[in-house]
Amino acid sequence: MKRRILLNFSHYRTPKDPGGLRSWHIGTHLALKGYSVVAIIPGVDTLTGKKRGNLKGKCWTKEVIDGVEVFWVNSFKNDRNSKIRRALYYLSFSILQAVVSVLVRRIDGIVCMSIPFTSVCYSYIQSIIRRVPVIVDVRDLPIDTAIELGYLKRNMLTNNILKAERWLYKHADKLIAVSEGWESRLKEKGVSPSKINVVPLGFEGRGIYGKYIDWNRDIKAELDLKNKFVVAYVGTLGHVFDIATVLNAAKRTSHIKRIVYLFAGGGQRLEEFSQIALENDLNCIFLGPRPKSDVPLICSQVDVCICPYKKGKYVASILGNKIFDYMGNGTATVYSGPKGDVSKILEESNGGICVPAGDSIGIAEAIIFLYKNPDNLQLLGVNAKNHIEKSYNVRNMMLRFEKTIYNLL
């Protein structure tokens, strides 16, 4: 009989959707390895706020995606500009996840994300009731990060949540951290090192996007940027990434008319940053949300990619999709932020330039240097691509992920 794995995730995106693919990678890989996989996912997307068309008026719907049985549960809309509405969004879909999970008769193991905390809670409770192991895929420590960024304040509520979170992580059967930074943060919370494995997101390569991408498309031509030196940021325009510093760097390079800044992504601060660029007459283009299948085209055809982090040890632990998309597609990266997992990869590969967090002068100087030195620009891109393909291939990452589950079961 096939081992049955339940995935309690906050999103499940395929290459045709905007956002990261780790949930889809996990589900499809486990299905290909012979597991029976059931995923319970919110049907209102956390990034776009869009509700799945067939979910209106229903508590949940079901479909099969690449061999994975996916339940889409209804919820309140995720308003990223309101803390209360955002909390209600997380709470509402977590409650329906718990309800729908009752329909899944037999489970051999549970994998949940570290976001939101409510899903971790009910996944742990469910693992106790069903007497099966629970694995937490730690992609972020959201409460700690939000406090560090000033989005949340330390008070009785957040302190109690952090205490409960620490207890749950100590008692989970296994934690899979997406970066060495998160591994260190978990150890600081008192989690036993023997419970933690590190499995980064990794780079998909062109094979995964074969049926989704027309590689003959010319993104620069489509955007009328054929003769421009394009600096791209691809990702969410929210509170974690320091877009304001990038805009300040754009001011410092505005005397070079060929240099254009391209922002591909949505988020709660998209309109704010667009307005700042407009008011300052900056050479910036904001595309808004793009499907994940557009990301490799953009990253491979622009001249430089930029990864701007704010200060903080929790922020420095973030190792998301964008750095793999940038480097894996052979594009030099300018990183602005604290020393951490991203800067380590760039330094090991010699695939980019690192400057301190908030250093708009350093960003501008790096971009101008690469603009004036195309040989250096090309070398950094080649170095980045070679390093990522060798050390961070998604297939190898998923083999490590599945091995953790196999050993635990």
CA 363 to CA 248: how far, in whole Å?
9
Amino acid (1-letter code) at residue 162: L
CA 335 to CA 181: how far, in whole Å?
17
Tell me what percent of the chain is helix, strand and coil, each rounded to the nearest 5: 45, 20, 35
pLDDT band at 294 (very low <50, low <70, confident <90, very high): confident
CA 316 to CA 354: how far, in whole Å?
13
- Write down the mean pLDDT value for the chain: 92
The single-letter DSSP state of residue 51 is B
pLDDT in tens, 79-91: 666 778 778 888 8
Cis peptide before 193 (omega within 30 of 0): no
pLDDT band at 243 (very low <50, low <70, confident <90, very high): very high
Q: What is the pLDDT of residue 358?
A: 95
CA 179 to CA 163: how far, in whole Å?
22
pLDDT band at 308 (very low <50, low <70, confident <90, very high): very high
Q: How many CB atoms lie within 10 A of CB 2?
A: 11
Among residues 319, 368, 376, 375, the alpha carbon closest in space to that of 342 is found at 319
CA 19 to CA 323: how far, in whole Å?
13
Three-state SS at 28: helix
CA 382 to CA 389: how far, in whole Å?
11
pLDDT band at 245 (very low <50, low <70, confident <90, very high): very high
CA 134 to CA 121: how far, in whole Å?
11
Among residues 45, 12, 35, 9, the alpha carbon closest in space to that of 135 is found at 9
pLDDT in tens, 366-378: 999 999 999 999 9
Q: Tell me what the mean pLDDT of segment 274-294 comes to.
A: 90
pLDDT in tens, 134-155: 999 999 999 999 999 998 899 9
CA 274 to CA 328: how far, in whole Å?
28
The answer to whether 109 and 135 are in contact (CB under 8 A) is yes
Per-residue CA distances from 130 to 35, 51, 169 (Å):
18, 31, 18
Find tokens 């499809």 and name the residue.
28
Q: What is the pLDDT of residue 205?
A: 76
pLDDT in tens, 247-263: 999 999 999 999 999 99
Cis peptide before 116 (omega within 30 of 0): yes
The single-letter DSSP state of residue 52 is P
Q: What percent of the chain clears pLDDT 70, i.e. is strictly above it?
A: 98
pLDDT band at 228 (very low <50, low <70, confident <90, very high): very high
11-15, 112-116, 190-194, 230-234: the lowest-pLDDT one: 11-15
> How many Cα atoms within 13 Å fall on the side-chain side of residue 218?
7
Q: Tell me what the mean pLDDT of segment 317-343 comes to.
A: 95
Q: What is the pLDDT of residue 80?
A: 66
Pairing of strands 60-65, 68-73: antiparallel
H or E element that contains 354: strand 352-355
pLDDT in tens, 7-59: 999 999 888 777 788 999 999 999 999 999 999 999 887 777 778 878 888 88
Structure tokens at 162: 């952090």
The answer to whether 249 and 367 are in contact (CB under 8 A) is yes
H or E element that contains 301: helix 295-301
Q: What is the pLDDT of residue 291?
A: 78
157: pLDDT strictly greater than 80? yes
212: pLDDT strictly greater than 80? no
Q: Tell me what the mean pLDDT of segment 394-399 comes to.
A: 94
> Where are the extended beta strands (E) located within 225-293?
229-234, 259-264, 284-288
CA 172 to CA 394: how far, in whole Å?
25
The answer to whether 127 and 409 are in contact (CB under 8 A) is no
N-to-C CA span, the chain: 14
Q: What is the pLDDT of residue 210?
A: 64
Q: What is the pLDDT of residue 182?
A: 97
Q: Tell me what the mean pLDDT of segment 70-79 comes to.
A: 84
Domains in the chain, ordered, with CATH? 4-202+393-408 (3.40.50.2000), 207-391 (3.40.50.2000)
Q: What is the pLDDT of residue 209?
A: 65
Q: Tell me what the mean pLDDT of segment 314-329 comes to.
A: 94
Per-residue CA distances from 86 to 46, 80, 139, 151 (Å):
9, 6, 19, 13
77: pLDDT strictly greater than 90? no
Q: Tell me what the mean pLDDT of segment 280-284 comes to.
A: 93
